[in-house]
Chains A and B, each alone.
Chain A
Amino acid sequence: MLKNYIKIAWKVLLRRKFFTFVSLFGISFTLLVLMVAAAVIEQQYAPARPGTPLERCLYIDRIIARNDRSAYVASPSYGFLDKYARSLKQAEAVSITAPGSTLSYLRNHKIELQLLYTDHVFWDLLAFDFLEGQPYDQAAVDNADHVAVITSRTRRQFFGDDSALGRYIEISTGSFRVVGVIPHEGIPSDRTWGDIYIPVTTNRAAVERPQVWGRHRALILAPDESHYDAIKAEFQENVIRAQQDHAADFDSIKSEAKTYLELLLDPFEEDTGGGIGLAIVVLITLMLLFMLFPAINLINMNSSRIIERSSEIGVRKAFGASSKTLVMQFLVENVILTLIGGAIAFVAALVVLQVVTDAHIIPFGQFHINFRVFSAALVISLIFGLLSGVIPAYRMSRLHPVRALKGSDL
């Protein structure tokens, strides 16, 4: 019987081309937008590749220092982080980095490069698979050696297909010898993003800056998520100590170790715990709302399509189709429609994401389909599809055949 349902459904979809087109467009476009949005959000805001140590990191990237004259809201300085974050006992490791940008000239063309100053711990946290060479070590950082790790994209820009090891890159802050190359697509998030990575100590002025605010941030590796609260509490104790140390300059100093999600959701608030649940609810609500409009449209179209087919329903009932059979037939039609829409959306998303990746619209963006989002959206589409079919089909199937034949009282 199922084979018959599928056969009938296929014929119906083929013969009602306009309806099929509009339905498929609605379903596939909705799913496509959701998948592209999910891929972009994931690329921009995911804390790390699954399975890497960065997945269990806390971040310190803001400090608020107030006195009676002014308030400073900025990134912490290297000195502040080195003194009050580096020593956290609950943490497995702490890395201090600073973003920046620099210029380089290649064959008389000016190239702007994203720079990331890091310490040697950074490389333990990122756990990159090096394409060639290796990261710079503690000695190189301590000595402020002019060494660099570059990405595969930077290597291609400067050296083509040749090896980059031992070669020099001239940037505005000096000449740096390449000691390692990491895969461009392996960079997990904007917080760890750079075209070129150099020792944090090479910017001596920034490292020796006496103020508590500056341009650095800390990545704190926790043994696991259960240690987050303890690490946060320990850091708060250190912040109180910092406040005492700088009591002459500031009435209060505030800084927090936060998860990546907490940072993204409310970077200016000091307490973000309650905001996460709300943000997730808002995101899910938006997703459902986004799907609701095409779903309502689908219900509407299904209702008119089924009413349009009342004579056919009457004939089928006259020749032995039961109400249950007819409801099943319409459900199978909707399921097939949704699955085809899903398949189109999947292929379209693959194409769109590849185009977006290749076009470098978002620097360093590597967009991939999120299968969890795709599955969830497909299941929701199926539920809407089933509901949109089952309600009018049930109403129709309850009619006496003679009324369905006349197309009356629907």
Chain B
Amino acid sequence: MIDLTHVEKVYRTSTIETLALKDINLRINPGAFLSIMGPSGSGKSTLLNIMGLLDDPTGGQVQVDGQQIANMKDDEMARLRNRRIGFVFQSYHLINDLTVVDNVEMPLLYRKSTSAERRQKALAALDKVGLSARTRHFPTQLSGGQCQRVAIARAIVGEPQIILADEPTGNLDSVMSDEILDILMNLNKNEGTTIVMVTHNQQMAEKTERIVRLCDGSQVD
């Protein structure tokens, strides 16, 4: 599903060169639930962004769903992200001026669908995360846990095969965190969605199938 071979990421400024990732080799099979752990600055988010085609590696190869992403055009990558990948961010990244249901519908705007289909799928996704009663609210009217549930609904509305979650519980208390993890685990178990989650939380990571640990940009186990 996702194959990383000798992946490297270097951030360059005019004076400094920072090696964020070095020689990462990772294969994530369909249906896996994997955690990425490591201290701050170890390259966890960078790795997730490269897997999600949000950032380019400086070296190495990335394959998603059997497709080599090197030399892929912008619109091809956009299509791949739209069809195959859903994202959940630590700070939700909801559009505050759109209602909950409009936020969830957003990925469907970039593929062929009627507005009725979009609305129906968005409501179904919100139902899955238990937010059917909040569809007309705006993100600013919701709690952190509810916002993250909206973000998950947005990530799953397009029925992607992969969900990449960057510290999805980082801003939530333990009760909310458990709820979010439950939703992700159900998606993985019931719908076979591949999930890659960056987390600082050891207990949460231990609930996933596999843990990848990073330190100073290198994979340590």
Interface residues of A (CB under 8 A from B): 4, 8, 11-12, 15-16, 311-312, 314-325, 400-402, 405
Contact = CB atoms under 8 A, between A and B. Distances in A.
B54 A400 contact: yes
B78 A321 contact: yes
B87 interface: yes
Contacts of B52: 318
Interface of A (DSSP majority class): helix
Nearest to A325: B110
Contacts of A324: 74-75
A318 B95 contact: no
A320 B54 contact: no
Contacts of A405: 54, 89, 93
Contacts of A316: 106, 110
B184 to A, nearest CB: 18
Interface residues of B, number: 28
Contacts of A311: 93
Contact of A325 (B78, B94, B154): B78
Interface string B182-206: 0000000000000000000000000
B82 interface: yes
B97 to A, nearest CB: 4
10 contacts: A311-B93, A315-B93, A315-B94, A317-B81, A318-B52, A318-B54, A319-B110, A325-B78, A325-B110, A402-B54
A316 to B, nearest CB: 7
A316 B87 CA distance: 11
Contacts of A312: 95
B98 interface: yes
Contact of A321 (B94, B95, B97, B110): B110
A322 B82 CA distance: 10
A317 B87 CA distance: 11
A402 B55 CA distance: 6
B136 interface: no
Contact of A4 (B83, B94, B109): B109
A319 B98 contact: no
A405 B55 CA distance: 11
Nearest to B92: A315
A405 to B, nearest CB: 7
Interface in B162-197: none
A319 B82 contact: yes
Given A4-B109, A402-B49, A405-B89, A318 B81 contact: yes
B216 interface: no
Interface string B2-44: 0000000000000000000000000000000000000000000
B74 A314 contact: no
A223 to B, nearest CB: 63
Nearest to B82: A320
Interface string B49-86: 10010111000000000000000001100110111001
B81 A11 contact: no
Given A320-B110, A321-B109, A401-B54, 11 more contacts: A4-B109, A12-B97, A16-B97, A311-B93, A315-B106, A319-B87, A320-B82, A320-B83, A320-B107, A405-B54, A405-B93
Contacts of B93: 311, 314-315, 318, 405
Contact of B56 (A11, A318, A400): A400
A8 B105 CA distance: 12
B72 to A, nearest CB: 12
B65 to A, nearest CB: 14
Contacts of B55: 400-402
B111 interface: yes
Nearest to B111: A320
Interface string B118-156: 000000000000000000000000000000000000100
A321 B81 CA distance: 9
Nearest to B46: A402
Contacts of A325: 78, 110
Contacts of B94: 315
Contacts of A315: 93-95, 106
A49 to B, nearest CB: 51
B75 A318 contact: no
A402 B97 CA distance: 21
A317 B78 contact: yes
Nearest to B79: A320
A8 B103 CA distance: 11
A189 B110 CA distance: 58
Nearest to A320: B82
B182 to A, nearest CB: 24
B97 A15 contact: yes
Contact of A11 (B49, B97, B158): B97
Contacts of B154: 319
Nearest to B154: A319
A11 B54 CA distance: 26
B97 A322 contact: no
A6 B97 CA distance: 16
A63 B10 CA distance: 83
B87 to A, nearest CB: 5
A314 B91 CA distance: 13
A100 B106 CA distance: 73
A314 B74 CA distance: 14
Contacts of B158: 319-320
A319 B56 contact: no
Nearest to A14: B97
